[in-house]
Amino acid sequence: MANKGVVVTTIGQIVKTVPSIDPTVKNKEVDKLFVENPNMRGIVVVHHEKPIAHITRTHFYQKIGTLYGYNLYMGRENNLLSKQNPLIVEYCQPITEVSKLAMARKEEDLYDDVIVTKEGKYIGVVSIRALLMNFVEIQVEMASFLNPLSSLPGNRLIEKKLSEVLTLEMYSIMYFDLDHFKAYNDLYGFNKGDKVLLHLTEILKKNVQQLGYFLGHIGGDDFMAILPHYEVDAICSQIINDFDTTILNFYNPKHLLDPHFQIKGRSEDMEPFTIISLSIAVLTNKKKNYEKVENISDAVASVKRKCKQIKKSCYLIDESDCMTMKSN
């Protein structure tokens, strides 16, 4: 069993040993085992160290309890009362994967123990109760690593991914940030502000995550992507185009049509109404290698400050000795 407080991830970590028998063992011996072990749910049938069948208590006594069942089965070998195609998994398989396999079984088999092997040899079983309890723990643990709004990887996973980036031969780190988003929240409220963030999330998923690249949500209107190459121009352009052509849908038309409409700015003074724009700061290791995650974070922050000086959606690529600023 795993240590208390440690979330396990593979089925072998929660396996328990239960009695196993040879396929030649008679059913009267199986009955004796069940009587002597009242909490035992099943017995695994093993031949040459490999599990070949499963005798569950419920199934066994259902058959024995029929009109002629006792006289018919008790003196015969156990294969007549065993299930010949039980769920058998390797000890290294993820609990999440095994849970799906277990729940996909026929209804009459749903609560049967899962048989576990190591390199094909029988080592024990896992009950459905233990399987589901650990599955829930894994889901809770995974949720703690995700941003609650976007369900994207949060800061803990982003930090881990950035540490891995340091070992890559080439990479591009993309930092996404919305301009004038605070003013939007002040004008329309946080509920509509969240809808804008979810809309941006979908755009980023389509153009980054669905291409197989890492996408994380730092918090608020800050997102980060990591690509194992330098070909970012087309991706940045498409993201900006998708955002700029749809963001107006989140505004009240009367505000868009009023040239004199003003809102309260960061300094609390009234200022001209401005549509949200998207800044993308890109850092690569094309000309410079970074030794620590902190160095990457500082460099990205510097690119971001320069990028936000442009008063419309744009992206800035920092290749250490030069910067390329582009906008749609």
Same domain, 271 and 130: no
Task: Say how far apart CA 180 and CA 200 lie, in whole Å.
Answer: 14
**Does 236 fall in a domain?**
yes
In order of 1, 34, 56, the CA distances from 39 in angstroms are: 18, 8, 12
Task: Say how far apart CA 149 and CA 292 lie, in whole Å.
Answer: 29
Comparing C-alpha atoms, which of 45, 49, 19, 48 is closest to residue 32? 19
The pTM score is 0.61
Torsion of CA 74, 80, 82, 88, to 10 degrees: 150
What are the E-state strand segments in 14-159?
A: 20-21, 42-47, 50-56, 88-90, 114-118, 121-126
Same domain, 114 and 244: no
Residue 199 in tokens = 């809309």
**Residue 290, pLDDT score:** 86
Question: What total number of domains does the chain contain?
Answer: 2
| Residue 6 DSSP label | P
**Residue 3, pLDDT score:** 43
Same domain, 103 and 248: no
Task: Say how far apart CA 312 and CA 328 lie, in whole Å.
Answer: 9
**Does 6 fall in a domain?**
no
Task: Say how far apart CA 293 and CA 273 lie, in whole Å.
Answer: 38
**Residue 325, pLDDT score:** 52
**Residue 48, pLDDT score:** 94
Same domain, 243 and 304: yes
CB-based contact 278:313 (threshold 8 Å): yes
Could you tell me the maximum CA-CA distance found in the chain, to the nearest angstrom? 95
Same domain, 253 and 131: no
**Does 35 fall in a domain?**
yes
DSSP-H helix ranges across 180-311: 181-188, 190-207, 233-244, 253-257, 293-307
CB-based contact 284:171 (threshold 8 Å): yes
What are the E-state strand segments in 62-191?
A: 88-90, 114-118, 121-126, 172-179
Q: Examine the fold and report which residue of 139, 172, 207 is the final residue of a domain before the chain moves on.
A: 139
Same domain, 67 and 206: no
**Does 150 fall in a domain?**
no
Same domain, 205 and 306: yes
Range of the domain at 291: 155-327
Same domain, 100 and 204: no
Same domain, 127 and 189: no
Same domain, 90 and 216: no
Same domain, 108 and 256: no
**Does 32 fall in a domain?**
yes
Per-residue pLDDT of the chain (328 residues; tens, 9 = 90+): 444 444 568 999 999 988 899 999 999 999 999 999 999 999 999 999 999 999 999 999 998 988 888 888 888 999 989 999 999 999 999 998 999 999 999 999 999 999 999 999 999 999 999 999 988 888 777 777 889 899 999 988 898 899 888 888 999 999 999 999 988 998 899 999 999 999 999 999 999 999 999 999 999 999 999 999 999 999 999 999 999 999 999 999 988 887 767 776 666 666 677 899 999 999 999 888 888 889 888 988 889 888 888 889 999 998 644 455 555 5
CB-based contact 60:81 (threshold 8 Å): yes
Parallel, antiparallel, or unpaired: how do β-strands 42-47 and 50-56 relate?
A: antiparallel
CB-based contact 225:215 (threshold 8 Å): yes
Same domain, 118 and 201: no
Give the CATH number for residue 51: 3.10.580.10
